Amino acid sequence: MDITRSAVWQLLNQYTKKDALIKHALAVEAAMRAYAKKFGEDEELWGAVGLLHDFDYDAYPVPENGGHPYKGNQILTDLGCPEEIRTAIMGHAHFTGTPRTTTMAKALFAVDELCGFVMAVAYVRPEKLNGMTASSVKKKLKDKAFAAKVNRAEIEQGAVELGVEKDEHIETVISALQSSANELGF
């Protein structure tokens, strides 16, 4: 399987039609690239994992019926995708029971929910991502009614597993999304 951004982008768009899911993939890609850079890892590889992590969700949303991420894992296996990528993607969904043993897998789990939450915060702010801080995100995290579907425990767990302080983690994700603001529609 070709892991270039153009090939991964094409695969994402083959299975994902909803604009919100495309933007989420772009946000996770940006955060994964930021962490790859921070840890001295392969930014292209980590970015590809970010783009692909939910590529099957739009087409196959129900995990109990062999859907996301199981269907995506099978598609990627059939395409010859490296196991490292597939395992990280399986591990981002806590219900699969796939252990997160690599830094890349831990980063994907750590940024997934947080990216969704930071995007939600940006949508309700007049200045969107501009000037956003960890403290403003943490304040919204305390409001259980705001973005209620976001699993706050997974955000906490992700930072712990990745071995970064919560504020630093939030700031890393905010900065990554700010760098991709135009692509994300802000």
pLDDT tens-place string over residues 103-116: 999 999 999 999 99
Query: Residue 80 domain-assigned?
Result: yes
What is the tens place of the pLDDT at every residue in 129-169?
Answer: 999 999 999 999 999 999 999 999 999 999 999 999 999 99
CA dist., res. 24 & res. 16, Å (int)? 11
Query: Residue 27 domain-assigned?
Result: yes
CA dist., res. 72 & res. 2, Å (int)? 16
Angle between helices 19-39 and 166-179 (to 10 degrees): 120
Please check the confidence at residue 65 and state whether its pLDDT lies above 80.
no
Diameter of the chain measured on Cα atoms: 45
Q: What is the pLDDT of residue 129?
A: 97
Please check the confidence at residue 66 and state whether its pLDDT lies above 90.
no
Query: Residue 148 domain-assigned?
Result: yes
What's the CATH number where 14 sits? 1.10.3210
Query: Residue 140 domain-assigned?
Result: yes
Q: Indicate the number of domains in the chain.
A: 1
Q: Identify whether the C-beta of residue 96 lies closer than 8 Å to the C-beta of residue 69.
A: yes
Query: Residue 30 domain-assigned?
Result: yes
Query: Residue 185 domain-assigned?
Result: no
Q: Domain containing 90: what range?
A: 5-179
- 34-56: b or e for each residue (b if 16 or more CB lie within 10 Å)? bbbeeeebeeebbbbbbbbbbbb
Q: Supply the Cα-derived Rg of the chain in whole angstroms.
A: 15
Query: Residue 184 domain-assigned?
Result: no
Query: Residue 94 domain-assigned?
Result: yes
